[in-house]
Amino acid sequence: MNLHPSAAAADQDENEPREECGVFGVWAPGEDVAKLTYYGLYALQHRGQEAAGIAVADGAQVLVFKDLGLVSQVFDEQTLAAMPGHVAVGHCRYSTTGSTTWENAQPIFRTTAVGTGIALGHNGNLVNTAELGARARELGLISGRLAGSLGATSDSDVMTALLAHAAADKSIEQAAMEMLPTLRGAFCLTFMDEHTLYAARDPWGVRPLCLGRLDRGWVVASETAALDIVGASFVREIEPGELLAIDADGVRSMRFANPEPKGCVFEYVYLARPDSTIAGRSVHATRVEIGRRLAAEHPVDADLVIPVPESGTPAAVGYAQGSGLPYGQGLMKNAYVGRTFIQPSQTIRQLGIRLKLNPLREVIRGKRLIVVDDSIVRGNTQRALIRMLREAGALEIHVRIASPPVKWPCFYGIDFASRAELIANGAGEGSFEDMVEGVRRSIGADTLGYISTEGMIAATEQPRSRLCCACFDGKYPITLPTEAAIGKNVLEGMLTGATETELLADNANASALSRP
């Protein structure tokens, strides 16, 4: 069942790359699995701030509680106390397919023809959603809605519907082994029925997913930092193309596809927590090493190295180490400016970045600054930041970026801007140097330097053949369909495009389905 939807959440800073989602699962009889999942999601909050949800099962039924907002806004002690069980899955969402509505919050719940409940959380983004959605519509599993409401319109809902349908005459495990090979794109899944926890990772391993051990159970999570917060010991990463089932018989591993590893390099640059480890490499150590390499590639005579907190901090530390220049905190971040249900007034909104960052004037006044940030997407944030630093008395501002120019959108779970909106595509004609000069002029920096792709990859200590760098080089490892068949609102378009007769027929079919 699902409990009380609420009002929509506020918009996030449109100039930042949007994270994907965080997933968490636990199988631990005798433990407070709802509270463990809450803490796990709290550790993964940076991966999605639009909605949060937890599903629990006690062997007899599956209970789902989800809502729009932060984990701490959705759940309280009373709610968690009303969710007993021995198995749970949790999810914190930023939408990459499907708009921000309560129906699209996760975990998604469906029932099979034999009455088994399935709750599923998904991190990533499929690229064959239109194809899967058409199949689900033909089977009567999803439908358009009249009166302007579409219900759930995410790729996660489609795959949950197809999984529940496949489980009509077979076990969830068998149904998953049948359904998972039909998915194309990035997916890390945690799902469950009344008894068993499942986890699956796409054959490319685009998004991270790991397995941890509790004294009395098991945990799966998007990042190792979530294992740490619940006291679980890291066991291993879930392999690309692997399905795990965890129940009273232990952990079972099945292979539904041959692995073709292409982990997202942007996880190292920005997405993952610095205290997480991916493919055996510390995210924090990677970012510090990127900073060192950035200092070697783009040195400049200056007085002080400062980060754009928090994501630019490790690279700024590395830059200071590599350059021998002093490191300082020139900007203070308001830790409580996250998502809010109170919209700022127009006057406050015009202040823009000042809601999040404020300069330490006595630190930066009269200084030649090296400002280190993780990436430039549209450039609006950097432009406002540089203006603010100059007003605070900085003599020179040299911007150094801990990733190459972002020139291509991501279709595997990061909601970047479109190609036309990415500043690196609109600044300068011709050479790479012309592009960098165009971006520099646009943001108002004295100099601008990006880490090279080779330097970034070397810092990860991973072979380039095992990394996806598509947002930097346009080489997509998973074949993309036509432009019309991908995009955040592909299912909304499919369902609203149906005729009224089709919608009525679909609604009649849907009424026969068991809904959460």
Annotated binding site: 264, 311, 373-374, 410, 468, 471
Q: Is 432 within 8 Å of 452 (Cβ atoms)? A: no
Residues placed in the known binding site for [4Fe-4S] cluster: 264, 410, 468, 471
Q: Is 386 within 8 Å of 446 (Cβ atoms)? A: no
Cα–Cα distances (Å) from 68 to 88, 137, 202, 329, in that order, read 19, 27, 27, 34
Q: What is the DSSP letter of 345?
A: P
**DSSP three-state, residue 135:** helix
Q: Is 409 within 8 Å of 416 (Cβ atoms)? A: yes
The structure tokens listed for 94 are 């930023």
The structure tokens listed for 133 are 């959605």
Residue with tokens 């509790």: 214
Q: Which of 92, 80, 108 is nearest to 41 (CA)?
A: 92
Q: Taking the alpha carbons of 177, 179, 184, 187 in that order, is the dihedral positive or negative?
A: negative
Q: What is the DSSP letter of 344?
A: P
The structure tokens listed for 220 are 């799966």
Helix axes 380-391, 432-443, angle to 10 degrees: 50
Going along 406-478, which residue ranges are E strands? Answer: 447-450, 467-468
Integer Cα distance of 185 and 162 in angstroms? 16
Q: Is 467 within 8 Å of 281 (Cβ atoms)? A: no
Q: Which of 262, 294, 291 is nearest to 450 (CA)?
A: 294
The structure tokens listed for 152 are 């759930």
Q: What is the DSSP letter of 327?
A: B
Integer Cα distance of 272 and 406 in angstroms? 18
Integer Cα distance of 218 and 26 in angstroms? 6
The structure tokens listed for 55 are 């599903």
Q: Judge whether 469 counts as a catalytic residue.
A: no
Bridge-based pairing of strands 263-264 and 304-307 is unpaired
Residue with tokens 């490191």: 327
Residue with tokens 């409940």: 117
Integer Cα distance of 288 and 421 in angstroms? 29
Helix axes 283-297, 453-460, angle to 10 degrees: 150
**DSSP three-state, residue 362:** helix
Residue 353 main-chain phi, psi, to 5 deg: -65, -20
Residue 362 neighbours by CB distance under 10 Å: 9
End-to-end CA separation in angstroms for the chain = 5
List residues with catalytic annotation.
21
